[in-house]
């Protein structure tokens, strides 16, 4: 039997924690203001996980919705990928927990860590598995409780992030659908521009390091800003070229939702109006790997993407990683 030519996106789901934290609430706790956060980032609120809402919980909820929309039973899934940099535990993979929670009887299950680029990386890897014939039905969930890595006393970082999960189901098909092109990249020299130092094998967490708050994320925001714009623009242009189309054929760009000014800079450099970009970071903040699938989910629900449309997904994140892909939206009959 020959390998399928495409991996269609058959179902989609999302989940966010219950609690909403507004800019005003943050301004009551640290030296910041709603005005600063809105004008510098575009964010007005974010969802923050409670103790019972760890990564696998919201990942499972998003995955369940995606399977229901696809009209597929859990038993149909043969591969589960969870893109996350905030797993439930250092070991084993959160994907195995999600598989168990969803009652998926037998499947390959693994986590993929590419920070905020995780969904685009996962879509590229997942499509490769389907197109090679190794997988027929694949559940990809991108989920992060990034606020777990946040120092709530550091105003440089704590205002930027929120928690969430997004999921899609990929299914082998011969109909032209799903990823038409994709590329992923990383600039390893920039791995120290944004990181959590303590808690891994290089610097196991000790009482001293915890007292220095080294278990939390730090970042060089301005430098990341510049790399983000360049990385997303170059990889987006490459994806469009590889898909054999022009930017004018793209119905909607769904970018990583880190900062409205980054998205505006990307739009300007690509020569596209902001109306062609989907933005929902005002309500969620930067949800790391979950940001692109949550934005894609809302774009579809709002009718901004319909069957047959070409959608450009583009992301960047810690690493520094980036990636873009062109998707032909459409749900072929099972
Ligand atoms: N409230 C009030 N003032 C603040 C706050 C805050 N929350 N945060 C910083 N400031 C202050 C700074 O201390 C600084 O004061 P100073 O001039 O007296 O030193 C001033 O505001 C300006 O700071 P800048 O860093 O110049 O502000 P900038 O306009 O660059 O915006 C920001 C900062 C929002 C972080 C921006 O650089 C950015 O978005 N960078 C990209 C970061 C990013 O997207 N990271 C995620 C990567 S994706 C991933 O892998 C998870």
CATH number at residue 294: 3.40.47.10
> Looking at the domain assignment, is residue 75 inside a domain?
yes
Section 87-97 average pLDDT = 97
- Indicate if 145 and 10 belong to the same structural domain: yes
Of 23, 47, 116, 233, which residue is the catalytic one?
Answer: 116
**Separation of alpha carbons 33 and 43, rounded Å:** 12
Residue among 99, 256, 73 at smallest CA distance from 171: 73
Please give the residue range of the domain that contains residue 70. Answer: 6-176
**Separation of alpha carbons 82 and 55, rounded Å:** 10
Length of the chain: 334
Question: Is residue 116 flagged as an active site residue?
Answer: yes
Helices (H), the chain: 23-29, 34-41, 55-70, 94-102, 118-132, 155-158, 207-211, 221-242, 260-270, 281-284, 291-301
Section 260-265 average pLDDT = 98
- Indicate if 219 and 164 belong to the same structural domain: no
Domain boundary at 176, 207, 240, which?
A: 176
Q: What is the 3-state secondary structure (H, E, C) of 143-175?
A: EECHHHHCCCCCHHHHCCECCEEEEEEEEEECC
Using the mean position of ligand 1's atoms as its centre, give its distance from the Cα of residue 23 in Å.
15
Using the mean position of ligand 1's atoms as its centre, give its distance from the Cα of residue 45 in Å.
17
Structure tokens given for 77: 């899934």
Pairing of strands 217-219, 194-196: antiparallel
> Looking at the domain assignment, is residue 334 inside a domain?
no
- Indicate if 156 and 192 belong to the same structural domain: no
| Number of structural domains in the chain | 2
Domain boundary at 112, 141, 176, which?
A: 176
> Looking at the domain assignment, is residue 333 inside a domain?
no
What mean pLDDT value characterizes the chain?
Answer: 96
- Indicate if 83 and 202 belong to the same structural domain: no
> Looking at the domain assignment, is residue 1 inside a domain?
no
pLDDT at 7: 96
Sign of CA dihedral 115, 116, 117, 118: positive
Section 211-217 average pLDDT = 96
pLDDT over threshold 60, residue 1: no
pLDDT at 331: 78
**Separation of alpha carbons 164 and 146, rounded Å:** 9
- State residue 164 phi and psi, 5-degree precision: 175, 175
> Strand, helix or coil at 96?
helix
Domain boundary at 123, 155, 176, which?
A: 176
- Indicate if 167 and 239 belong to the same structural domain: no
Using the mean position of ligand 1's atoms as its centre, give its distance from the Cα of residue 278 in Å.
23
Whole-model pTM? 0.96
Of 23, 54, 158, 286, which residue is the catalytic one?
Answer: 286
Q: What is the pLDDT of residues 274-291, one digit of tens each?
A: 999 999 999 999 999 999
Is the bond leading into 272 cis (omega within 30 degrees of zero)? Answer: no
pLDDT-derived band of residue 334, with 50, 70 and 90 as boundaries?
A: low
pLDDT above 70 covers a percentage of the chain that reads: 99
Q: Is the Cβ atom of 224 under 6 angstroms away from ligand 1?
A: yes
Q: Is the Cβ atom of 269 under 6 angstroms away from ligand 1?
A: no
Question: Is residue 256 flagged as an active site residue?
Answer: yes
Q: Is the Cβ atom of 84 under 6 angstroms away from ligand 1?
A: no
């Amino acid at each position: 039997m020959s390998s399928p030519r495409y991996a269609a996106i058959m179902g989609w789901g999302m989940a966010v924690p219950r609690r909403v934290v507004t800019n005003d609430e943050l301004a009551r706790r640290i030296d910041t203001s709603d005005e600063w956060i809105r004008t510098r980032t575009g964010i007005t609120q974010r969802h923050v996980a409670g103790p019972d809402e760890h990564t696998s919980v919201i990942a499972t909820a998003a995955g369940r919705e995606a399977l229901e929309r696809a009209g597929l039973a859990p038993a149909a899934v043969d591969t589960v990928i969870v893109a996350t940099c905030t797993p439930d535990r250092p070991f084993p993979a959160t994907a195995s927990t999600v598989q168990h929670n969803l009652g998926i009887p037998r499947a390959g299950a693994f986590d993929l860590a590419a920070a905020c680029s995780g969904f685009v990386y996962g879509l590229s890897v997942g499509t490769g598995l389907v197109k090679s014939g190794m997988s027929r039905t694949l559940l990809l969930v991108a989920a992060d409780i990034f606020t777990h890595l946040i120092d709530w006393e550091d105003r440089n970082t704590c205002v930027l992030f929120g928690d969430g999960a997004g999921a899609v189901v990929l299914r082998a098909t011969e109909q032209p659908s799903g990823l038409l092109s994709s590329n992923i990249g990383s600039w390893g020299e920039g791995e120290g521009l944004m990181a959590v130092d303590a808690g891994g094998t290089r610097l196991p967490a000790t009482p001293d390091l915890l007292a220095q708050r080294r278990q939390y994320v730090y970042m060089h925001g301005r430098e990341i800003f510049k790399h983000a714009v360049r990385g997303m623009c170059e990889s987006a242009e490459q994806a469009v070229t590889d898909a054999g189309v022009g930017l004018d054929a793209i119905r909607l760009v769904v970018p990583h939702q880190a900062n409205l000014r980054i998205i505006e800079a990307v739009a300007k450099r690509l020569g596209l109006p902001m109306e062609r970009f989907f933005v929902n970071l005002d309500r969620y903040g930067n949800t790391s790997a979950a940001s692109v699938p949550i934005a894609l989910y809302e774009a579809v629900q709002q009718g901004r993407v319909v069957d047959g449309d070409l959608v450009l997904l583009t992301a960047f994140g810690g690493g520094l990683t980036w990636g873009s892909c062109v998707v032909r939206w459409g749900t072929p009959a099972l």
